[in-house]
Amino acid sequence: MRTRVGIIGAGPAGLLLSHLLHLQGIESVVLEARSRDYVERRQRAGVVEHAVAETLRGAGVGGRMDREGLVHHGIELRFDGRAHHLDFPDLCGREVVIYAQTEIVKDLIARRLADGGKILFESRATAIEDIDTGSPRVRFTDGAAEQVLECDIVVACDGFHGIGRASLPAAVVRTFDKVYPFSWLGILADVPPSCDELIYAHSDRGFALHSMRSEQVSRLYLQVPNGTDTAEWSDERIWDELTARFALADGSWELKRGPITDKSITPMRSFVTEPMRHGSLFLAGDAAHIVPPTGAKGLNLAMHDVMLLAEALTAWDRDGSTTLLDSYSDDALRRVWRAEHFSYRMTTMLHPDPQGGDFERRLQISDLDRIAASRAAATEIAENYTGLPQV
Ligand code: FAD
Ligand code: DHB
């Protein structure tokens, strides 16, 4: 099998890249280890930055997002029993859209298949070869037989556990890693959200986040110790703990409860690979970098990587120019490090460290107080959260 751009992984990064290339008349094949049903069900992120939403609209795949997504003009920070609202349009002129990653994936798969695109589900890439040449190959298996995809360029969008990153020569790669001493227990519940905007709550009992998927479905997260098993958390224990962590000192707020339909654990990690390209192999999304979810940046960063790459591949396809391909890694890494810093800041500001003491907690409250008191401090959060146009 032969194609111009071989893409490994049908997550949001691989699918958007394949679609953006198609719009420019550039052929690609997407290899995906899992089934279509599996990738369309996997529960993950929910916040779409302004610029990413604009890209989806511009590429003709934002229709359902605009009908069913929820435009949010801010977030609430809760700490010390108090609530502080950040008004994004007032602070930075942008907003975000709440629309689940699973829905973006469904929209992109439907559009690629309607356009005659090739997504090979249940086809696991096993090796990437000859990346020092202009004709790399991807070996893959569909369970029955091993096959070869010959390409001009390979883009690994195969997530943190894929084979893309490991296929870069060890001598040229540097990685940066931080593992946090806590995880998130995430739930989906069939209950209308108890708030109009997302609530990020700091409490002595731990962090909690109230998000949503629709007018009828809530998504909530609790900070839990690493190694936690969802079996330790009954529905009642989860609701009780969420209620305690979101409580306001004046008792003026109530959390609605409902049937929990999904429980999962997300470990918290920061990770960056440099460079994001070697020869004819490019990395994009979680294959190259991970952020802890507190800044809602993982999905958005993955989309920004492939937006850059689509532009670079278009210039290369049109007139053979490699200028943008050559600067891809540096260009992408500038945004990656900004998002790494913001995600680290939000994480360390909002999660009491189980090994930390009262000194660290007072610093966290002081940082949050500063955001509540200062327009400059609040603007810094708003600009990063809604996505910086230029990094
Ligand atoms: P992925 O979505 O991981 O897609 C990679 C694809 O490659 C997968 O479909 C995988 O099956 C496929 N693949 C892997 N190996 C191979 C192979 N060898 N051959 C073929 N295919 C392969 N971010 C947030 O902002 N908020 C959140 O709440 C949040 N929660 C998360 C929860 C979990 C459990 C995880 C894992 C991530 C979460 N994230 C969250 C991060 C966000 O979902 C990711 O940043 C985003 O999915 C990155 O997209 P991607 O396309 O780069 O990678
Ligand atoms: C969601 C996830 C996040 O990590 C976040 O910061 C905000 C919202 C969500 O799943 O809705």
376 has a pLDDT exceeding 90: yes
Tokens for 321? 């120019």
Phi-psi region of 25 (alpha: psi -120 to 50; beta: other; left: phi over 0): left
230 has a pLDDT exceeding 90: yes
Q: From ligand 1's centre to the CA of 254, what distance in Å?
A: 33
**What CATH number is given for 5-45+100-177+270-346 in this structure?**
3.50.50.60
Both ends of the chain: CA-CA distance in Å? 39
Ligand nearest to the Cα of 276, by number: 1
Parallel, antiparallel, or unpaired for β 70-72 and 5-8?
Answer: unpaired
Ligand 2 atom at minimal distance to the Cα of residue 184: 4
Catalytic residue check, 263: no
Burial class (CB in 10 A: 0-12, 13-18, 19+), 7: buried
DSSP assigned state of 155? E
Comparing CA positions, the residue from 16, 58, 65 lying closest to residue 213 is 65
Pocket flag, ligand 1, residue 49 (CB < 6 Å): no
Phi-psi region of 36 (alpha: psi -120 to 50; beta: other; left: phi over 0): alpha
Question: Quick check: 282 and 310 in contact, CB under 8 A?
Answer: no
- Quote the pLDDT of residue 87: 98
Question: Quick check: 310 and 286 in contact, CB under 8 A?
Answer: no
Ligand 1, atom 2: closest residue by C-alpha: 11
Element (H, E) at 75: strand 74-79
pLDDT-derived band at 143 (thresholds 50, 70, 90) equals confident
Q: Is 136 helix (H, G, I), strand (E, B) or coil?
A: coil
Q: Which of 77, 211, 381 to mutate to test the pocket of ligand 2 (most atoms within 8 A of CB)?
A: 211
Comparing CA positions, the residue from 124, 205, 214 lying closest to residue 162 is 124
Of these residues, 19, 22, 50, 72, which one is catalytic?
Answer: 72
Catalytic residue check, 72: yes
HSE-up of residue 341 (Cα within 13 Å, Cβ side): 9
212 has a pLDDT exceeding 90: yes
Pocket flag, ligand 1, residue 304 (CB < 6 Å): no
Catalytic residue check, 328: no
Residue 199's contacts (CB-CB under 8 Å, 6 or more residues apart) are 75, 76, 78, 83, 208, 209, 210, 246
Tokens for 170? 């060890």
pLDDT-derived band at 390 (thresholds 50, 70, 90) equals confident
- Quote the pLDDT of residue 132: 97
Comparing CA positions, the residue from 58, 54, 69 lying closest to residue 20 is 58
Pocket flag, ligand 1, residue 387 (CB < 6 Å): no
Q: Which of 101, 119, 228 to mutate to test the pocket of ligand 1 (most atoms within 8 A of CB)?
A: 101
Tokens for 355? 């090994």
Model confidence over 81-117: pLDDT tens digits? 999 999 999 999 999 999 999 999 999 999 999 999 9
- Quote the pLDDT of residue 389: 86
pLDDT-derived band at 391 (thresholds 50, 70, 90) equals confident
Model confidence over 66-90: pLDDT tens digits? 999 999 999 999 999 999 999 999 9
pLDDT-derived band at 43 (thresholds 50, 70, 90) equals confident
Of these residues, 50, 297, 304, 351, which one is catalytic?
Answer: 297
What is the domain partition of the chain in residue ranges? 5-45+100-177+270-346
Q: Please, what is the average pLDDT of the chain?
A: 97
Dihedral pair phi/psi, residue 374, rounded to 5°: -120, 125
Ligand 1 atom at minimal distance to the Cα of residue 302: 52
Model confidence over 276-313: pLDDT tens digits? 999 999 999 999 999 999 999 999 999 999 999 999 99
Share of the chain above pLDDT 90, in %: 97
Pocket flag, ligand 1, residue 296 (CB < 6 Å): yes
- Using alpha carbons only, give the angle 320, 322, 327 rounded to the nearest 5 degrees: 160
- Quote the pLDDT of residue 78: 98
- Quote the pLDDT of residue 94: 95
pLDDT-derived band at 370 (thresholds 50, 70, 90) equals very high
Average pLDDT over residues 344-358: 95
ipTM above 0.85, yes or no: yes
Average pLDDT over residues 210-220: 95
Please tell me the distance from the alpha carbon of residue 14 to that of residue 109, in angstroms, as a whole number.
10
- Using alpha carbons only, give the angle 176, 156, 123 rounded to the nearest 5 degrees: 130
- Quote the pLDDT of residue 169: 96
